[in-house]
Structure 1
Amino acid sequence: MSSTTDSEAILRGVLDRWKAAVDGHEPQQVAAQFTEDAIFQGLHPYSVGRPGIAAYYDSQPIGMAAAYRILETRRLADDLVLGYLDVDFSFTDRPTLGLKLGVLVKRVEEGWYITHYQVSRLD
């Protein structure tokens, strides 16, 4: 398995769990995909740690769903993978919101988790 393929597989493993929790409006499950000390920057002020992440996703409307596409990956170390993505958040009552997402996923004893998350709107 090549490094790029391996990095994409790692990202997909984490992001598929994140997406399932986002789509199911399960804020605690979304937060569980992050490290305890994750830096999180959505479209509101940033937070650090799972409680802020859960609160952010709890404030999102029911019916919001995420669709992502990996654009670039970099293996920064054996236990760190950087990903740059397109993410479309769809809603039941408004147009889809297209964003860029940068994530850093880290391997800890239990598996791979997001340790840094930052979205950008490029209008």
Structure 2
Amino acid sequence: MDILTEVLDAWKSAVDAHDPERVAAVFTEDAIFQGLHPYSVGRNGVAAYYDSQPLGMTADYRIVETRRLAEDVVLGYAAVDFGFPDRPTLSVHLSVIVRKAGDRWLIAHYQVSRL
């Protein structure tokens, strides 16, 4: 869980700061990214997605489950609340696969669901 917490804390910090490039840096170069809009592959798509989000949006998460799939791969499932200054909170479910890349853990797969 420490690995997933470290990665999601970095993601949350960048989301809360509305820093799309820093959000994208938490992902692998070839990450599969599925937010609430059509999917993309790679950091450019991640940056574009978060750049389109409203200023003041924040992310609060709670890890629900983790599984170590291999020494360098972790699966995570989290509940996430995206807060907005001008509308109700959006609660979603997030599945991620994080992979060790050199000395860092990065998100290789990200999928959000409202269900």
Q: Shorter-chain TM-score category?
A: over 0.9
The percent of aligned pairs where both chains have the same amino acid is: 69
Unaligned runs of 5+ in 2: none
Question: Which residue number corresponds to residue 110 of structure 1?
Answer: 103
Superposition TM-score, scaled by structure 1 size: 0.93
Unaligned runs of 5+ in 1: 1-7
Q: How many residues are matched?
A: 115
Question: Which residue number corresponds to residue 19 of structure 1?
Answer: 12
User: Helix, strand or coil for the counterpart of 1:69?
Assistant: strand
Match of residue 89, structure 1, among 82, 87, 103? 82
Match of residue 75, structure 1, among 41, 51, 68? 68
Superposition TM-score, scaled by structure 2 size: 0.99
Please give the root-mean-square deviation of Cα atoms over the aligned residues, in Å.
0.4
Deviation of 1:106 after TM superposition, in Å, equals 0.2
Structure 1: how far apart are the matches of 2:17 and 2:69?
31
Question: Which residue number corresponds to residue 33 of structure 1?
Answer: 26
Computing the radius of gyration from Cα coordinates, the structure with the larger value is 1
Match of residue 55, structure 1, among 45, 48, 52? 48
Deviation of 1:46 after TM superposition, in Å, equals 0.1
Work out whether 1:98 is the aligned partner of 2:91: yes
Moved over 4 A (4+): none
* Structure 2 counterpart of 1:28, one-letter code: E
Structure 1: how far apart are the matches of 2:102 and 2:11?
19
* Structure 2 counterpart of 1:47, one-letter code: S
User: Helix, strand or coil for the counterpart of 1:13?
Assistant: helix
Structure 2: how far apart are the matches of 1:107 and 1:30?
17
Deviation of 1:71 after TM superposition, in Å, equals 0.3
Structure 1: how far apart are the matches of 2:53 and 2:30?
22
